[in-house]
Structure 1
């Protein structure tokens, strides 16, 4: 029987079910936490030297893969959208899809009325009620990418007409967005939506079941009826580091966390957001959350997967700064897109 250290993110959704499962199942896997931002500020190589199991997001794989063990043999069952595909790279699965999330629409229907379904309806609503974009931290680039998808073009980070349209839409909405929302990450935006009436709608924000049903979550906006809702998948996966010497007991525990039993009952009971498809379509799971899962299933099923190459996280951070400069009117869309293209080319040249 081994003793293991795990690292996850400091939020009930990322922490509570994992901690409780270790206690309930009597496995010596102690979970430590750090803020979401910590995963970007601390290299995965350093974390992999200190922890046996790490909860991470798929864009980190390019930098993390050489420090992880493949987990292909641990995966069983069907998971929502591209959750599994996002952790597959170079012929192997590098993390188990524990938690599924993507950008969806969040609405205070008492303030905004029925959630808008199309981007033109979002613009119309923004003229009558407080509509906020999620642009803090990496979310400026993620919002830009998702709008590009909705407009019919998966991001290439080149200065295309679609990219221009996406930034112009963001800029237009930002001119009317409540100013205090500019610096708020998704959790802070949702906290604000629950706490007061200063945000009626966020058209693209990572879904957190913890805020349902006070906040109504629906599919991300499309450009036209029936077209693809633009969204960039997030969520987290369980990765085993190369320093770990997993026992059969640890491997069985990780399999259990992704089982139908755990994903449909245990994980939702302890603030988690499951990734297994059967949980997303379960009547029992949805009835407690105002149909959070069924209401956003189409969006996550068609969500875009970010690149997983070395240097992507640094690119995402730098490109988000540029996107913010554009939507705040500090640089033109043309200059901003040229800068983003240069940053992207810099990764390819490394």
Structure 2
């Protein structure tokens, strides 16, 4: 029996479906022993991808790591493993940029197992009138209640900055890959975030998205988080109040919901010799059967567009997918050059300190641009 060493992240959404799929009779009959290990999500943000690929055959990654992975020559492209026609078909079946986010240096580097993006989370029983559609309405609710929380811990401060800039019509580093954001748009975004941060309940200031959503389910002092990575299990929790998920806020009603793509993909390391049986298993994880039935039934979040609009899936999860599909279809894809991950961490720390110190926008934006330029030297977007 062929032993396949695999690594994913330590959360039911990241582990349960993969582990259960590896135990299927068909997989065992095919002679595969797929052993899934797990590490904290933060480990993927800090641990060198080349080291993980040296120890594992399959590695679940986030798309901003692909530049680092290509620089380290540690992953096999999907085209080399499955062929260009299969990859093209996967792209047509995946929601939003779930597959294309793994495209770098002319090839794709991970299978889009899990699709996610920042969306709005609210306690519908506490928010009168439903989810606010615009950032102006979010700010008004924050001023009136003091119960609107920003997700600022870890990398999330700068991810929210990028998302709001996209909502205001300037997806960062797209028009000019050397410029993160213009001073005009950057000032609007920074000042909006600074006001919301000053009013955000401090009880969740240091919590990651899982911590914030868990807090919202258990307590009534946070009624809304305008940008947070969606976790479907909180829409129908085993304990506590359900959290309702809606499209991310827009600059104006009917405009683009500004959101930065998340999700995870399965990368195949250079140490792996993918057999026909392993390739068939990996493609089964992308199939209609797995994505609509198996993965949602085992705490996973599918990437296949059909699953996001499936009536049964949405009924089980209180409309989570259909209510946020527009946001993920329009999600902003971060830069993926080698060096971006370090920028993301340092930029978020800079923003948190700036909000606390009530620093002037011009100074903070100049520092953000300097950080971005310095970390782009680690590798060029291709």
Could you say which TM-score interval applies, normalised by the shorter chain? over 0.9
1:70 and 2:77 matched: yes
1:346 aligns with 2:374: yes
1:159 CA displacement = 4.8
Task: Report the Cα distance in structure 1 between the residues aligned to 2:377 and 2:311, rounded to whole angstroms.
Answer: 49
For 2:314 and 2:167, locate their aligned partners in 1 and report how far apart those are by CA, in whole Å. Answer: 26
Show the 5 A alignment for 1:199-214: 199-213=222-236, 214=242
Cα-to-partner distance string for 1:206-249 (whole Å, 9 max, x where unaligned): 01101014111000000111110100000000100001111111
Name the residue aligned to 1:264. 292
Out of 71-80 and 293-302, give the one that drifted further. 71-80
Question: Gapped runs of 5+ residues in structure 1?
Answer: none
Q: Please tell me whether residue 221 in structure 1 is matched to residue 249 in structure 2.
A: yes
Q: Is the 8 A contact 2:77 2:109 kept in 1?
A: yes
- The equivalent residue for 2:119 is 104
SS of equivalent to 1:123: helix
Q: Is residue 210 of structure 2 the alignment partner of residue 187 of structure 1?
A: yes
Alignment pair present for 1:33 and 2:38: yes
C-alpha contact (below 8 Å) 1:62/1:309 kept by paired residues: yes
1:91, distance to aligned residue in structure 2 (A): 1.6
CA distance in 1, matches of 2:299, 2:264: 14
TM, length-normalised to structure 1? 0.98
The DSSP-based 3-state class of the residue aligned with 2:320 is coil
CA deviation vs aligned residue, 1:262-312 (integer Å, no higher than 9, x gap): 000000000000000010010011111111001001000000000110100
Is the partner of 2:2 in helix, strand or coil? coil
Q: Indicate if the aligned counterparts of 2:183 and 2:362 stay in contact, CA closer than 8 A.
A: no
Structure 1 residue 330 displacement after superposition: 4.8
- Checking the alignment, whether the CA contact within 8 Å between 2:339 and 2:376 is kept in structure 1 is no
- CA–CA distance in structure 1, aligned partners of residues 182 and 198 of structure 2: 23
> Aligned partners of 1:301 and 1:349: how far apart in 2?
30
Aligned to 1:44: 49
Q: Does residue 6 of the first structure (1) align with residue 6 of the second (2)? A: yes
Distance 1:296 1:159 in 2: 28
Match of 1:299 in 2: 327
> Equivalent residues in 2 for 1:125-140 (5 A)?
125-129=141-145, 130-140=147-157
Q: Does 1:149 align with 2:166?
A: yes
Alpha-carbon distance in structure 2 between the residues aligned to 1:194 and 1:225: 28
TM-score for the superposition, normalised by structure 2: 0.90
Aligned length: 350
Deviations 1:126-146 (A, max 9, x none): 123300000101000000000
For residues 306 and 373 of structure 2, the distance between their equivalents in structure 1, rounded to whole angstroms, comes to: 40
Deviations 1:57-99 (A, max 9, x none): 0000010122100113254441000111101112211000000
Query: Which ranges in structure 2 are unaligned for 5 or more consecutive residues?
Result: 174-179, 237-241
- Check conservation: 1:22, 1:29, Cα contact below 8 A: yes
User: Equivalent residue for 1:252?
Assistant: 280
Q: Residue by residue, what CA displacement relative to the aligned partner does 1:116-159 show, whole Å, maximum 9, x if unpaired?
A: 11111101111233000001010000000001111111113245
For residues 229 and 105 of structure 2, the distance between their equivalents in structure 1, rounded to whole angstroms, comes to 27
- 8 A contact 1:7–1:31 mirrored in 2: yes
The residue that corresponds to 2:109 in the other structure is: 94
Q: Distance in 1 between matches of 2:300 and 2:94?
A: 15
* 1-structure distance, mates of 2:358, 2:195: 14
1:38 is paired with a residue of what secondary structure? Answer: helix
Offset, 1:329 = 2.7
Aligned equivalent of 1:327, options 350, 355, 362: 355
CA contact (8 A) 2:235 2:317 kept: yes
| 2:64 corresponding residue in structure 1 | 59
CA RMSD after TM alignment: 1.2
Alignment of 1:311-326 (within 5 A): 311-326=339-354
SS of 2:261's partner is coil
**What do residues 21-73 of structure 1 show as CA deviations (whole Å, max 9, x unaligned)?**
00113231100000010012210011011000000000000101221001132
Are 1:171 and 1:329, in contact at CA under 8 Å, matched by a contact in 2? no
- The CA distance in 2 between the partners of 1:128 and 1:14, in whole Å, is 37
